[in-house]
Chain A
Amino acid sequence: NAGVTQTPKFRILKIGQSMTLQCTQDMNHNYMYWYRQDPGMGLKLIYYSVGAGITDKGEVPNGYNVSRSTTEDFPLRLELAAPSQTSVYFCASSRPGGDWDTEAFFGQGTRLTVV
C-alpha cells in the first residue's frame, strides 16, 4: 500500500525556472492538499482540492498553480521560481465524512532549493 507518493524527493532550481511537483495517492481520497514547511514556521496550506476538477487557494498560493484531472493525481506547478520558494513541500490526502476527514495522510516530501 503506497499511500501518498511524491516525486521528485529533491530538486535544485535556478531562479526563473519552472517545475512540477508530482503527487499521487492510491487510497481513493477525495481531498488532497499541498503544504510547504519552512524551518520554525510549521506547515502552510498552498492549495487544496475536494475532488477532480475542483481546486481552491489556501493560505500561501502566490507563485503556484495546481490542477486535479483525476482523483489520484494533484500536481503542483511552480512558475518563475524564486528563492522564497525554497522549502519542503508536502502533499497530503484525506477522505471526507464524519470524524475521519481529520486524518490527513502525508507524502515523504519534496525538498526544493532555488538558487
Chain B
Amino acid sequence: QKEVEQDPGPLSVPEGAIVSLNCTYSNSAFQYFMWYRQYSRKGPELLMYTYSSGNKEDGRFTAQVDKSSKYISLFIRDSQPSDSATYLCAMKETDSWGKLQFGAGTQVVVTP
C-alpha cells in the first residue's frame, strides 16, 4: 500500500466550475501537507501548504486537512483554463529534513 494515494485522473471540468482534488494517506506522523502544481514539462511549484489540521484559503484555492480521517483536499473555485495542470499532494513528518512524500498527481483539464 502506498503511503499517499491520489487519483491520477484526468479530471475534466468546464471553465468556472469548482475543482475538487483529494489525497489519502496512511502515515499518522505526517504533520505538513502541501499541494504542488505542475505544468506540462515543468517542475512542480508550491501552491498551498497547511500545518496539521484545518483549512487554509488563498484566493480561489482552499486547502483542507482532516487528520482524523487521514484525508486532505484542494478546492479550486471559478476554474480557469490556466488551471489546467497536474496537481500533486505532498506531505512530511516534523523534523524530516524537508523530505516530502508525494502522491501520484491528478491531471486537471479546464475546458473553455
Please list the residues of chain A having a beta carbon within 8 angstroms of any beta carbon in chain B: 4, 31, 33, 35, 40-45, 48, 50, 58, 90, 92, 94, 96, 99, 101-109
Contacts and interface: CB of A to CB of B under 8 A. Distances in A.
Contacts of A35: 102
A90 B25 CA distance: 23
B59 interface: no
Chain B contact patch, size range: 20 to 34
Interface of B: 4, 6, 8, 32, 34, 41-46, 49, 51, 88, 90, 92, 97-100, 102-105
A43 B99 contact: no
Chain A interface mostly helix, strand, loop or mixed? strand
A90 B44 CA distance: 9
Contact of A103 (B4, B46, B88): B46
27 contacts: A31-B98, A40-B104, A41-B104, A42-B88, A42-B105, A43-B90, A43-B100, A43-B102, A48-B97, A48-B99, A90-B44, A92-B43, A96-B97, A99-B51, A102-B32, A102-B34, A102-B92, A102-B98, A103-B46, A103-B49, A104-B98, A105-B45, A106-B45, A108-B42, A108-B43, A109-B41, A109-B42
